Amino acid sequence: MGKRKLTRRQFVMKTITVGAGAVILGKTAFGLTGNSSGLSTNPLQVVRLGKSGLKSTLLGMGTGFSGYNRSSNITRAGVAESLIRQAYEKGIHFFDCADSYGTHPFTAAGLKGIPRESYLLSSKIWVSQGGIPEPERPDADVVVDRFRKELNTDYLDLVQIHCMTDAQWTDKQKKQMDILETLKAKKIIRAHGVSVHSLAAMEACVESQWVDVVHVRVNPFGEAMDNKDPALVIEVIEKLHKAGKGVIGMKLIGNGKFRNEPEKIDASLEYVLGLGTVDMIIVGFEKPEQIDNYIGRVKNALKSKK
């Protein structure tokens, strides 16, 4: 009798067992959940972000862990500038910022003197209530002009609309989308997109021709994700990938919840890197030693799927 084919949801439930701190994630996950994307075992290899035209190191640095009101853990600890510089020197050349993180000036200082074309700068505009100190929400061209000054750069590689949750965001943010499209035509930004914080908002990205790159929350445990069932999330991520969207994986460490659970960290890295539908991942380093630690962990995860 032939083997019964599992649905994606059945596969996730069968291959991920969480209990008492133990995680089982078989190597077969890489063959069943998606293509391997032809990745080498180099965690700093250059990858393409969908059809956006952007190329980045597979591992990027997020600067906004616990970021809100223009601060984050690394700005509050006074280590943002030095960590960003060290990450670059270790070979990480993608830096994910946002207006709400307050990391623009620290990123500019950390990368001072380094050829601009050797790294990618990503940032996000905040259009909702809260999140940043002032109540005004200027249009995207005004905000991006400020970003460029804060980052000391003529252009940004990627600008996204931050934290979209509404299924109708492509209608409600049409004005800002059009402005960002104009900025791309003027080469002030190279690509645009969104970071999403609901499954409905993620699904809206699939049909939107405007979306170049999407930040998605993904790990095998459903922690800090757009749905507690990872199978539902990865189905939409697969659609994004097939539609040519660049997919950046975030929250692999469960928004920091797994930081003291190495088995879960490794299982999450292996799982996400094995999907074949996530182009790159970002990690929010808080200490210098974490940079080498995660470079090593990503390397091991890539080796495990060979």
Weakest mean pLDDT among 7-11, 42-46, 127-131: 7-11
Q: Residue 280: inside a domain, yes or no?
A: yes
C-alpha distances out from residue 145 to 72, 156, 194, Å: 22, 10, 18
- Band of pLDDT at residue 279, cut at 50, 70 and 90: very high
Q: Is the pLDDT of residue 104 over 70?
A: yes
pLDDT at residue 2, as a whole number: 40
pLDDT at residue 197, as a whole number: 96
Q: Is the pLDDT of residue 245 over 60?
A: yes
Q: Residue 2: inside a domain, yes or no?
A: no
pLDDT at residue 290, as a whole number: 97
Q: What is the pLDDT of residues 148-186, one digit of tens each?
A: 999 999 999 999 999 999 999 999 999 999 999 999 999
pLDDT at residue 38, as a whole number: 76
State how far the Cα of 84 lies from the Cα of 90, in Å rounded to an integer.
10
Question: What value does the CA radius of gyration of the chain take, rounded to a whole number of Å?
Answer: 19
Handedness of CA 111, 281, 162, 243 (dihedral sign): positive
Give percent of the chain above pLDDT 90: 86
Name which residue leads in pLDDT, 37 or 283: 283
Six-digit token string for 304: 């495990």
pLDDT at residue 294, as a whole number: 98
Q: Residue 76: inside a domain, yes or no?
A: yes
CA angle, 291 then 297 then 302, to 5°: 125
Full residue range of the structural domain in which residue 212 is found: 8-304
pLDDT at residue 57, as a whole number: 98
What's the structural domain count of the chain? 1
Q: Rounded mean pLDDT of 15-31?
A: 32
Q: How many residues does the chain have?
A: 306
pLDDT at residue 20, as a whole number: 28
Q: Residue 3: inside a domain, yes or no?
A: no
- Regarding pTM above 0.85, the answer is yes
Beta bridge partners of 215: 195, 248
Q: Residue 238: inside a domain, yes or no?
A: yes
Identify residue 285 by its one-letter amino acid code: F
Q: Is the pLDDT of residue 40 over 60?
A: yes
Q: Residue 127: inside a domain, yes or no?
A: yes
Look up tokens 């994700």; give the residue: 225
At 240, which helix (H) or strand (E)? helix 230-242
CATH code, domain carrying 104: 3.20.20.100
Q: Is the pLDDT of residue 97 over 80?
A: yes
At 48, which helix (H) or strand (E)? strand 46-48
Q: Rounded mean pLDDT of 233-262?
A: 97
pLDDT at residue 132, as a whole number: 96
Q: Residue 139: inside a domain, yes or no?
A: yes
Question: Which DSSP letter does residue 94 get?
Answer: E
Three-state SS at 36: coil
pLDDT at residue 37, as a whole number: 52
Q: What is the pLDDT of residues 198-222, one digit of tens each?
A: 999 999 999 999 999 999 999 999 9
Q: What is the pLDDT of residues 43-71, one digit of tens each?
A: 999 999 999 999 999 999 999 999 999 99
Q: Residue 298: inside a domain, yes or no?
A: yes
